[in-house]
A = this chain, B = another copy of it.
Amino acid sequence: MKIWLKSLITLMAIGAIAACGGEKSSSGEIAEQKQYKWKLVTSWPKNFPGLGTAPENFAKLVNDMSNGRLSIKVYGAGEIVPGFEVFDAVSQGTAQMGHAGAYYWKGKMPASPIFTALPFGLNAQETNGWLHYGGGIELWRELYKPFGVIPFAGGNTGVQSAGWFKKEIKTVDDLKGLKIRIPGLGGEVMKKLGAVPVALTGGELFTSLQSGAIDATEWVGPYNDLAFGFYKVTDHYYASGWHEPGAMLEFTVNEKAFNELPKDLQTIIEVATRAVNQDMLDEYTARNQTALETLKNKHGIEAKTLPPEVMKALKQASEEVIAEQIAADPTFAKIMKSYSAFQQKVAAYHKISEVEYYNNREL
């Protein structure tokens, strides 16, 4: 049996309610079906392209599949709780669901960034493989269990760009003193190489670059970066990335609320998250390429790659940062054991399948 079906069934076993709405009673009548009205809080501006439209799509699918029995209202960051308080809101039951990135909860759980992306780690396809057929989702659910929160994969942006820089990066020395907006473990890596990582929300990036408060920023990739207009205030776009090679978003559900749902609505939630998880990657795959062309043809932006020397230094520093995390947190170590074993094997396979194919296509 599929691992993800298995884990769903386990969840259901905990929460199955015998007398759920809509069940046919022994007398053959159908009971009035119970209606559920849920709140879903997010870390994004309402309807933000890709990240913010995904939970809206999710809510629509759940509403349609349940014939309105489970109605989910989506809130942008700050409407009920700030973007960085989504996890707490779901844990406390202020909202039944959230949509965010696991790495935002690093302060609470040092291992959480593994469930967004790791520098030089798994890409989108590999992350999905590890999650659903490599034990990943079980480890994730174990991590969130003490908070009464159940995580589901909630979309993937694909490889994120290294970012937009005011000055060209020719050597590792060019990173020294560089004020760059980069969150999570990527920021720790940059710090090791002498840069100054800065935490800023998306809405602050353009003006911070313009005013010189920061020298560089990463954000997502061509599609979202074009919309923010970074090409107007920086000269160098490093399109190829290293810090978030397949950034996964997350849906979170309050465990108590989930357990109160009848089984059909539980499955509807699980399946809708799976569909949206793929849909977001499909969207980014299609829109990034179009945005890249617009950046080039309309705005004269040349997509560059960081010099191999710089990439090598970033990789070395990433290994050090991850080793430190492993040493500091037994849970990080436990999850990385599964993740690294998967990566070692899948990288060997993708080298002779995906990579070979990409190269042969260019012959």
Contacts and interface: CB of A to CB of B under 8 A. Distances in A.
Interface string A319-347: 00000000000000000000000100111
A2 B159 contact: no
Interface residues of A, number: 87
Nearest to A306: B360
Copies per complex of this chain:
2
A64 B267 contact: yes
Given A133-B287, A285-B346, 17 more contacts: A2-B53, A2-B57, A5-B60, A30-B30, A30-B33, A123-B354, A125-B285, A126-B285, A158-B354, A159-B357, A240-B352, A240-B353, A240-B356, A240-B357, A242-B357, A278-B278, A354-B354
Most-contacted residue by chain B among A32, A278, A348 (CB, 10 A): A278
A239 B352 contact: yes
Interface stretch (A138-146, A180-188, A208-216, A268-276): A268-276
Nearest to A345: B289
Contact of A129 (B57, B285, B350): B285
Interface stretch (A76-84, A197-205, A308-316): A308-316
A355 interface: yes
A135 B40 CA distance: 30
Contacts of A30: 30, 32-33
A234 interface: no
Interface string A247-280: 0000000000000001110011001101101110
A138 to B, nearest CB: 13
B274 A311 contact: no
B242 A349 contact: no
A88 interface: no
A301 interface: no
A226 interface: no
A356 B275 contact: no
Interface string A292-316: 1100000000010100100110010
Contacts of A277: 278
A359 B244 CA distance: 15
B132 A363 contact: no
10 closest residue pairs by CB, A with B: A129-B285, A133-B286, A240-B356, A274-B275, A289-B349, A278-B278, A64-B267, A289-B345, A67-B264, A129-B286
